[in-house]
Amino acid sequence: MIRIVLIDDHPLAVKGIGAWLTGTGRFTIAGTAGTAAAALELLESLDPLPDIVILDIALGGEDGLAVIPVLKQTAQKRKAPLPGIVVCSMYEDPFLIQNALEAGAGAYITKSADIAEILTAIDAVLAGETYVNPAYEIPARKWASAGLSTREREIVALIKQSLNNKQIAKMMGISIRTVENHLSHIYIKTNTYSRSELAER
């Protein structure tokens, strides 16, 4: 049995994906977590480490991708193979997909994916390959050194969809002022000066 850990702050997503996977007869769920802290505690307690970690890119207000470097350290400390990492997110933006892959994910799927695509992604990662749906055109690595946080990456993705600050604030559940503050940091980190310049890059 292939052992999987599910890290997602939406209980329905965890239950749904977990039921799909266990229903195939190939997988067992080794554990679940809804926050980055709980995920790290779970992974530290599991011995051996799981074969696959399915990880949401955003865990409430936390950066889901921050789990990846700690997982790498845990595997290195134990001299164990690094679990395959499949990011599963509601976001379909190629910019966010790129960031997940650069962080160390082996595959990126969206929550709208069907079970066949999830299995394809898992099998690819188990084989040491990378999987992203061919429909998503991954941009050139212009942003690799920008050092954007998950929140900042989400805001850039929404700007690329032509959303204004009020729409972004409503979608992300934060204030307009917070969006404006994030945007100021994004301009500095990416050496850009306007929304249109961000959208074009």
Residue 137 pLDDT: 66
Helix, strand or coil, per DSSP, at residue 113: coil
Q: What is the mean pLDDT of residues 21-38?
A: 94
C-alpha distances out from residue 178 to 22, 64, 169, 181, Å:
41, 20, 8, 5
**Residue boundaries of the structural domains of the chain:** 2-132, 150-200
With a cut of 50, say whether residue 15 has pLDDT above it. Answer: yes
Q: What is the pLDDT of residue 145?
A: 42
What CATH number belongs to 2-132?
3.40.50.2300
* In the predicted structure, residue 47 carries a pLDDT above the cut 50: yes
Mean pLDDT of the chain: 86
Same fold, 2-132 and 150-200: no
Q: What CATH number was assigned to the domain covering residues 150-200?
A: 1.10.10.10
- Give the C-alpha separation, 60 to 56, whole Å: 10
For residue range 85-138, what is the model confidence (pLDDT) as tens digits?
A: 999 998 887 878 888 888 889 999 998 888 889 999 999 999 999 999 888 866
**Average pLDDT value for residue range 25-42:** 94
Q: What is the pLDDT of residues 172-199, one digit of tens each?
A: 888 889 998 888 888 877 777 788 877 7
- At 47 the three-state DSSP class reads coil
What would you report as the CA-atom Rg of the chain, rounded to the nearest whole angstrom? 17
